[in-house]
């Protein structure tokens, strides 16, 4: 249907000249093509009918319309140039009317498409939206930007549509319905309640597939011991109120250190079935030692005061920026590792990821990538790969090419669809594996 509409759009855009070439204008034929043009603008392709989401169908249609705009505009431009001799043979008015016809028709197609994708796309980043506005009238550059917009939105509609169909197909299987509920534990400087929940689309995906989800609900920054005490109390609260007996903990970044401390030192091992750490610096971050040594204390204190004051406004009771940072250093982590032992009866496993280039870490990880690489080699933009492994099983995640997977990618921080890695499906596989193991 896209090919048919491409032809219809081309003919409609060039109707004035095409009809004139036959010596007369057939009102019936012109009306028929105008109706076909209108229909094509409403439904540019039939493939979107399979997408079980109105938003995604509109996004898919917008992407298709932009693609049709590119094809029909290119063909119309060539056809217009083929008749440029009219400008010098006394038929300038005919050529200009032909140009006006093309401009009006293609403008309808373009704005119909761009409005649809701008209003419905969840993957079209602010950067591309702004570039689309700023570069819209800059030749060549506008085509490059439009290409990326079509690519992003078209891929989004296809991937998200397939995702919805997959979830519907396996709904009855409840692949994530683990024996014990799942507790998601966030890392440092973020929260999972009120304003700053960074788990993205992951919890909803797990719940769609049968999982029962709880959150740590602890404040954003504190020492490992302080955060562990909050988490231990939270775990006791959940297990007592629900009667579930135990929990499967999935902890990101510093959250993994907090949970290991809580399990070994605060008496909640009997309430925990498994601990899965995601991108956790079990052996610390050597670059944190370096920064604490090099940055003057007065600057550290000012940064800490600003952070603590801001997070108190957002709901944290007693945030402590400096305690959190100091407990992430290599020296602090190695010291804890000497006396914190894995709790008996709890299944420990770990996951880490690797950035292949600094630029893909997103701000500010694109800056810290080189610093971490200098001190610890391959990393996720924040933590060295060597620091990740802990427990009976370890998996290192990345993707081919120049991108890789950053510290934030592993918890869907940017809500971004990454080629070759669906973070939601990754967590579904984690939960399904825990279910299979009897947890």
First-residue to last-residue Cα distance in the chain: 49
Sign of CA dihedral 278, 284, 286, 292: positive
pLDDT, position 33: 82
> Mean pLDDT in the chain?
90
Task: Give the whole-angstrom CA distance, residue 45 versus residue 5.
Answer: 8
User: Environment class of residue 202 by beta-carbon count within 10 Å: exposed (0-12), middle (13-18) or buried (19+)?
Assistant: buried
Determine the distance from the C-alpha atom of residue 168 to the mean position of all C-alpha atoms in its chain, rounded to a whole number: 22
Residue 408 in contact with residue 365, Cβ under 8 Å? yes
Residue 15 parent element (H or E):
helix 15-21
* pLDDT at residue 22 tops 70: no
Residue 278 in contact with residue 300, Cβ under 8 Å? no
Using the 8-state DSSP alphabet, how is residue 89 labeled? T
Among 12-16, 17-21, 319-323, whose mean pLDDT is lowest? 17-21
* pLDDT at residue 185 tops 90: yes
pLDDT tens-digit series, residues 143-174: 999 999 999 999 999 999 999 999 999 999 99
DSSP per-residue letters across 30-50: HHHHHHHHHHHHH-S-SGGGG
Q: What is the mean pLDDT of the segment spanning 237-261?
A: 97
User: Environment class of residue 30 by beta-carbon count within 10 Å: exposed (0-12), middle (13-18) or buried (19+)?
Assistant: middle
DSSP per-residue letters across 189-225: T-BSSTT-B--TTHHHHHHHTT--EEE----S---HH
Q: What is the mean pLDDT of the segment spanning 198-224?
A: 94
Which residue segments constitute the domains of the chain, with CATH numbers given? 2-167 (no CATH), 174-436 (3.40.50.1820)
Residue identified by tokens 């507790």 is: 183
Determine the distance from the C-alpha atom of residue 377 to the mean position of all C-alpha atoms in its chain, rounded to a whole number: 26
pLDDT tens-digit series, residues 266-281: 999 999 999 999 999 9
Q: Residue 185 forms beta bridges with which residues?
A: 251
Determine the distance from the C-alpha atom of residue 283 to the mean position of all C-alpha atoms in its chain, rounded to a whole number: 28
* pLDDT at residue 256 tops 70: yes
**Buried residues in 64-80 as b, exposed as e (16+ CB within 10 A):** bbbbbbbbbbebbeebb
Q: What is the mean pLDDT of the segment spanning 363-382?
A: 82
Residue 232 in contact with residue 271, Cβ under 8 Å? no
Task: Give the whole-angstrom CA distance, residue 366 versus residue 317.
Answer: 31
pLDDT tens-digit series, residues 38-84: 888 988 887 777 788 999 999 999 999 999 999 999 999 898 888 77
Q: Which residues contact 249 (CB under 8 A, 6 or more apart)?
A: 182, 183, 185, 235, 259, 272, 274, 275, 276
Q: Residue 191 forms beta bridges with which residues?
A: 197
pLDDT, position 357: 82
Between the CA atoms of 268, 270, 272 and 274, what dihedral angle is there, to the nearest 10 degrees? Answer: 130
Q: What is the mean pLDDT of the segment spanning 417-424?
A: 93
DSSP per-residue letters across 271-317: GEEEEEEES--TT-BHHHHHHHHHS-HHHHHHHHHHHHHHHHHHT-S
């Amino acid at each position: 249907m896209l090919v048919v509409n491409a032809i219809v759009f081309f003919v409609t855009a060039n109707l004035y000249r095409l009809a004139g070439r036959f010596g007369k204008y057939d009102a019936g034929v012109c009306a028929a093509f105008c109706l076909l043009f209108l229909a094509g603008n409403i439904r540019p392709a039939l493939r979107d009918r399979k997408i079980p989401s109105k938003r995604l169908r509109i996004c898919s249609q917008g992407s298709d319309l932009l693609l049709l705009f590119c094809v029909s505009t290119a063909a119309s431009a060539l056809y217009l140039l083929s008749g440029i001799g009219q400008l010098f043979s006394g038929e300038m008015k005919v050529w200009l009317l032909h140009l006006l016809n093309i401009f009006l028709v293609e403008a309808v197609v373009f704005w119909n498409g761009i409005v649809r994708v701008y209003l419905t796309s969840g993957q079209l980043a602010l950067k591309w939206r702004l570039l689309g506005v700023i570069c819209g009238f800059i030749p060549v550059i506008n085509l490059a930007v439009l290409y990326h917009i079509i690519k992003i939105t078209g891929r989004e509609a296809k991937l998200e549509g397939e995702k919805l169909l997959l979830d519907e197909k396996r709904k009855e299987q409840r692949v994530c319905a683990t024996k014990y509920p799942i507790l998601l534990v966030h890392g440092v400087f973020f929260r999972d309640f009120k304003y700053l929940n960074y788990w993205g689309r992951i919890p909803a995906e797990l719940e769609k597939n049968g999982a029962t989800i709880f959150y740590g609900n602890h404040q954003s920054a504190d020492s490992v011991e302080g955060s562990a005490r909050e988490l231990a109390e939270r775990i006791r609260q959940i297990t007592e109120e629900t009667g579930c007996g135990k929990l499967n903990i999935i902890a990101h970044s510093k959250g993994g250190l907090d949970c290991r401390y809580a399990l070994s030192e605060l008496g909640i091992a009997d309430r925990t079935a498994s601990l899965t750490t995601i991108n956790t610096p079990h052996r610390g971050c050597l670059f944190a030692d370096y920064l604490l040594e090099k940055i003057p204390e007065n600057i550290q204190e000012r940064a800490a005061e600003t952070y603590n004051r801001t997070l108190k406004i957002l709901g944290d009771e007693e945030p402590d920026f400096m305690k959190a940072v100091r407990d992430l250093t290599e020296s602090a982590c190695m010291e804890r590792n000497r006396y914190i032992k894995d709790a008996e009866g709890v299944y420990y496993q770990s996951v880490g990821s690797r950035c292949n280039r600094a630029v893909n870490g997103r701000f500010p990880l694109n800056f810290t990538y080189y610093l971490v690489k200098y001190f610890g080699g391959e990393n996720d933009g924040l933590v060295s790969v060597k620091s990740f492994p802990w427990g009976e099983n370890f998996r290192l995640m990345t993707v081919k090419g120049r991108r890789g997977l950053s510290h934030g990618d592993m918890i869907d921080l940017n809500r971004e669809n990454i080629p070759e890695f669906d973070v939601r499906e990754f967590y579904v596989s984690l939960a399904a594996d825990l279910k299979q193991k009897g947890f």
